[in-house]
Amino acid sequence: MSVLAAPSHAERPASPISDAEAVDLLRRMVETSSISGNESVVAALLLQEMSRRGFVAEMDSAGNAIGWRGPRDAENIIILLGHMDTVPGVIPVRIEGDLLFGRGSVDAKGPLATFVTAASRAALPPNTAIVVIGAVEEETPTSRGARAVVDRFQPAACVIGEPSAWNGVTIGYKGRLVMECSIARDLAHTAGPGGSAADEAVSFWQRVLAEINRLNQGRTGAFHTVQATIRELRTSSDGLAEKASLVAGFRLPPGLAPGQLQQAIVAHASIGQLNFLGHEAAHVSPRDNAVARHLSAAIRRERERPVLRVKTGTSDMNVVAPHWRCPIVAYGPGDSALDHTPNEHISLSEYLRTARVLTHALESLASELATAAHRPAEAEAQSSRESE
């Protein structure tokens, strides 16, 4: 399938990134702060590197860094969609032996640097293009970067850049809903009969948890149950009025739409204001989809058994998969248990191994897509010859 809108630039040969250059690229990316909403500096770094490697590089209106390799009118587009932003937290960037420490090393600059490296190395058929996208604001409920590219492309296949470990392939993520609750009331003496705004917020949360427990009846396992967590709880007073605010996140299993949970929560709200955002349904790809197959084969080539995973978090897969409806998985180096932690670090040898795996997978996937694209034309030509 071809891209809906593409720049008209002359094709340039790719310049493959060496292992040493790949490590240097990742180190520079991790050294460049890019908290959600402030990704422009790391985007410029990526655009410069991709342009130097023969990609046609551009920044779109959302601030995404996009690198094109291959013909603009390619029959088949493979999208490698990673994200540039990180959560807050300064971790001194350093290399200790095989380990690179720093915020974003795992989530998810490691996977994104892997994408750029593998895309520069892969040998592609003439009718195939690879598009590397470094998206903004994946770590926020807005997912602004992914939403900006949903209508621009119609890929034949997609890989999402998230840590799965080099021998793991993530085929599914839970859904998400974020709730903001605000309760305000006139200040009253604590000895009075009425409760405080904080009391009401806590009481409301207890009702929400009771509803979650009801929804989880008959469900087992973290991936198949609703998870609820308070992200923020604050109280304030100006001496005349008081306010309590609560922000909570919900992880949703397959089969439970964000709107369904929202309606159930609203039914338990007696006072206050509610706002909901981050509506993302769970997504699980077929285990035998084309991208998973080729990544699994490339992992076996490295003499390891591939592991298919589902995750209790969300990713940009939840945003783009319902629209693109193409084979899609998430893949990238790193231990996701280190995401957002003060000890975030990545193994450089694993990072380079992941780049090798992805390079082989991209080449075999592109070959399969090219062959499939030619079959209808060949069949039509054969039918035409037989009718003569």
Residue 298 has pLDDT above 90, yes or no: yes
Q: What is the mean pLDDT of residues 15-42?
A: 97
Residue 290 has pLDDT above 70, yes or no: yes
pLDDT band at 44 (very low <50, low <70, confident <90, very high): very high
Q: Which amino acid is at 106?
A: V
Q: What is the token pair recorded at 75?
A: 């029959």
Query: Could you report the per-residue pLDDT of 121-153, keeping only the tens digit for each?
Result: 999 999 999 999 999 999 998 999 999 999 999
Residue 334 has pLDDT above 80, yes or no: yes
pLDDT of 13? 67
Three-state SS for the chain is CCCCCCCCCCCCCCCCCCHHHHHHHHHHHHHCCCECCCCHHHHHHHHHHHHHCCCEEEECCCCCEEEEECCCCCCEEEEEEEECCECCCCCCCEEECCEEECCCCCCCHHHHHHHHHHHHHCCCCCCEEEEEEEECCCCCCCCHHHHHHCCCCCCCEEEEECCCCCCEEEEEECEEEEEEEEEEEECCCCCCCCCCHHHHHHHHHHHHHHHHHHHCCCCCCHHHCCEEEEEEEEEEECCCEEEEEEEEEEEECCCCCHHHHHHHHHCCCCCCEEEEEEEECCEECCCCCHHHHHHHHHHHHCCCCCEEEEECCCCCHHHHHHHHCCCEEEECCCCHHHCCCCCCEEEHHHHHHHHHHHHHHHHHHHHHHHHHHHHHHHHHHHHHHHHC
pLDDT band at 375 (very low <50, low <70, confident <90, very high): low
pLDDT of 187? 75
Q: What is the mean pLDDT of residues 315-334?
A: 97
Q: What is the mean pLDDT of the chain?
A: 91
Which fold would CATH assign to domain 175-280? Alpha-Beta Plaits (3.30.70)
pLDDT of 347? 98
Q: Which amino acid is at 323?
A: H
Query: Could you report the per-residue pLDDT of 168-225, keeping only the tens digit for each?
Result: 999 999 999 999 999 988 876 555 556 788 989 999 999 999 999 999 999 999 999 9
Q: Quote the CA–CA distance of 381 and 379 in Å, as a whole number.
A: 5
* pLDDT-wise least confident of 19-33, 88-102, 233-247: 233-247
Q: Quote the CA–CA distance of 85 and 104 in Å, as a whole number.
A: 8
Residue 383 has pLDDT above 50, yes or no: no
Which fold would CATH assign to domain 19-173+282-373? Aminopeptidase (3.40.630)
Residue 1 has pLDDT above 50, yes or no: no
pLDDT of 372? 83
280 among known catalytic residues:
no
pLDDT of 3? 40
Query: Could you report the per-residue pLDDT of 82-126, keeping only the tens digit for each?
Result: 999 999 999 999 999 999 999 999 999 999 999 999 999 999 999
CA-closest candidate to residue 109, choices 181, 45, 17, 189 = 45
Share of the chain above pLDDT 70, in %: 91
Q: Which candidate in 39, 107, 138, 200 is catalytic?
A: 138
Which residue has tokens 């009481």? 203
Q: Which candidate in 75, 85, 139, 280 is catalytic?
A: 85
Q: What is the mean pLDDT of residues 62-89?
A: 96
pLDDT of 60? 97
Q: What is the mean pLDDT of residues 141-167?
A: 96
Residue 26 has pLDDT above 90, yes or no: yes
pLDDT of 248? 97
pLDDT band at 373 (very low <50, low <70, confident <90, very high): low
24 among known catalytic residues:
no
Query: Could you report the per-residue pLDDT of 210-233, keeping only the tens digit for each?
Result: 999 999 999 999 999 999 999 999
* Extents of the domains making up the chain: 19-173+282-373, 175-280
Hey, do 19-173+282-373 and 175-280 end up sharing a CATH topology, with the first three levels equal? no
